[in-house]
Structure 1
């Protein structure tokens, strides 16, 4: 075979690929960078992955170097006939043993630490770990805590969505499940991926070393809005987490202000066909606990519980920020909505109103323009602008 010079197009393509690959690892703000571990489990994965990548890189250079060297040394000359075969060499015992033993040693060297790391990550969490039930569904995450919040011997249940709130420095034992299709929970700074499979429980241990936010993503394609199914782990100081937990179990208080009260009535007549607020009473009779009808528009029969809605930082499955992501607003923590000033500066009112105005226009929920009876997701209730204003005024009170 005669050698041919690369065309300008080929050279440009190779250069473009090289620049693209170089740029992949140069992002200055990449919260989902697996090579920026924070938690102990993520560091275990990091300390395994880096040497493996180095070994793979050395093998790549050696193999490509040998391939290029052979191609150059044994290339056909212009005087050789294109149908003439070079002398065939086979049965070289030393060469065959060499290229069998060296890869074997490399694989053994990679396999041993990999097996130890896998078994180490699979160990049971310590007895003092906080257990959280994680439910994945199209297209959001629900978190349920069952523990004694105020040490009175009573097991309290906290149900929240989108933000996984945990105490920093404490082991967290996640029990990951799915209510519909297969999802995958992944916060790369804390641990590897773990699938959420219907009918199964998959354990995963994480630990956030410091207070802050750790961003993740559903990494198993699960439908139209898979890419908008975000994960956020919010780690707090232990005392702040205790205060958050105590607030989550506080009884619901119906609003008295006119706008919020009107929003409460709208919520009870429209939104409670799906959504729940723990401890909510009938707005027409505060002595009666509100009876929720059967959930609609969700095959799984579950939608986000809106109890203490304003203690969260995201909504709509994490697609939108409820609290504006400015440094000033992040500094307010989970109590950002506890003051009028915090609400005025940090509430993403525009996105919230747009969501209430026409949810299907903001997030893909079903294929086609006309939803079918099996459609899932929040429908468009065709609310008036006054109803939207009242609903926002009501939601602000859920803190």
Structure 2
């Protein structure tokens, strides 16, 4: 096959690949669009490195193509006729040794500066949050009184922070190694059991910034997502106050659908793994129902850091309806529409908001058969995630009605 024919064969494939890169109308995890101080630090380092790499790519590849064409064997030439050699040309050899060394030295110096900037401690009065990776979801615990104990607020999936302020994170994990990554706010940071890794994030403007786990952590690693929600300071303060209010139990003689859902929650295995402050927190010990805990001393489901069991094996649901996602942020709890997104974390404050914005179908499908919606464990061990509780359709309706009251 002639060279020209080869080019004609390969060119359409290359063109199609380049065209596909322009098809993404929305790229929420675009690392080249920093939205905070720390992300910009990385971007300011990476951009010139990419530029240098691009120049090197063009020079090296262009030189290789030029040489291949310029010095190719022609029909009237003998294959043993060698072109002029440059071996022993001290100017060239010294040049292409020293120049890359200088480039690497400069990149190394600026990389060290960036590392120190990324690890600089935020102000003492900054918001402090412990981030706990668990198969396959993220838990967030807030230390509001600066006593070093992250116990004032426990939530999941959506990390809520004040916009325009540096936030101090403590990254860890309960079971296996995970990695926390919100690309528009900072780089990734590994979450390792029994270790506490400091990390910082900051969002310039109010908004929602998505991320995910970037360390393979098991069957549903690809579905272990997260969202950082930055609020104006006054809205953040309101959110903090509301998150510290306990839920109210229902009276035994209450026959409303919400009350029936409350009884489904407390009577089924839901309350064995999920915590709702004010409902089942007093009877919530560190043990797990036996059928969920048969491998607790080793093998699948081993808890490597027993301290991290504030919500046991499942997310704290006390203020479920103040979140926008569920099931490890795989599914939208709040519908993904401009109207609903504009309501922010207050989307479920009114019955009208719940009716318009709750993705009821996704929530009902999850309650009906969780393993069918998200892969749990290859061996079928329910300790890895939420099992199928075999709820009736009536129980599902009642449970959804109750969950919508957890605001």
3-state DSSP of counterpart to 1:200? coil
Determine whether 1:200 maps to 2:200.
no
Determine whether 1:269 maps to 2:263.
no
2:355 to 344, 349, 361: 344
Determine whether 1:141 maps to 2:138.
yes
Determine whether 1:303 maps to 2:314.
yes
Q: Could you tell me which residue of structure 2 aligns to residue 279 of structure 1? A: 278
Q: 2:275 touches 2:318 (CA, 8 Å); kept in 1?
A: yes
3-state DSSP of counterpart to 2:263? helix
What is the rounded CA distance, in whole Å, between the counterparts of 2:371 and 2:4 in structure 1? 49
Within 5 A, what are the aligned runs for 1:142-221? 142-148=139-145, 157-221=152-216
Greater Cα shift, 248-257 or 323-332? 248-257
What is the rounded CA distance, in whole Å, between the counterparts of 1:79 and 1:387 in structure 2? 87
3-state DSSP of counterpart to 1:147? coil
Within 5 A, what are the aligned runs for 1:1-399? 5-6=2-3, 8=5, 11-21=8-18, 23-24=20-21, 27-82=24-79, 90-148=87-145, 157-255=152-250, 256=254, 258-270=256-268, 271-281=270-280, 289-291=282-284, 294-295=287-288, 296=292, 298-300=301-303, 301-367=312-378, 371-372=380-381, 375-399=383-407
Q: 1:148 touches 1:155 (CA, 8 Å); kept in 2?
A: no
3-state DSSP of counterpart to 1:30? coil
Q: 1:213 touches 1:234 (CA, 8 Å); kept in 2?
A: yes
TM-score (norm 1): 0.90
What is the rounded CA distance, in whole Å, between the counterparts of 2:388 and 2:264 in structure 1? 14
Structure 1 ranges of 4+ moved more than 6 A: none
1:349–1:292 Cα change, 3 Å = farther
CA RMSD, Structure 1 to Structure 2 (Å): 2.3
Q: 2:182 touches 2:211 (CA, 8 Å); kept in 1?
A: yes
The number of residues matched between the two structures is 383
What is the rounded CA distance, in whole Å, between the counterparts of 1:173 and 1:64 in structure 2? 44
Q: How far does residue 394 in structure 1 lie from its aligned partner after superposition?
A: 0.9
What is the rounded CA distance, in whole Å, between the counterparts of 2:114 and 2:229 in structure 1? 26
What is the rounded CA distance, in whole Å, between the counterparts of 1:177 and 1:51 in structure 2? 32
Q: Could you tell me which residue of structure 2 aligns to residue 285 of structure 1? A: none
What is the rounded CA distance, in whole Å, between the counterparts of 2:135 and 2:151 in structure 1? 27
Q: 1:299 touches 1:376 (CA, 8 Å); kept in 2?
A: no
What is the rounded CA distance, in whole Å, between the counterparts of 1:268 and 1:222 in structure 2? 31
1:299–1:278 Cα change, 3 Å = farther
Q: How far does residue 337 in structure 1 lie from its aligned partner after superposition?
A: 1.0
Q: How far does residue 216 in structure 1 lie from its aligned partner after superposition?
A: 0.9
Identify unmatched segments of 5+ residues in structure 2: 294-300, 304-311
Q: 2:275 touches 2:284 (CA, 8 Å); kept in 1?
A: no
TM-score (norm 2): 0.88
What is the rounded CA distance, in whole Å, between the counterparts of 2:324 and 2:340 in structure 1? 10
Q: How far does residue 123 in structure 1 lie from its aligned partner after superposition?
A: 1.1
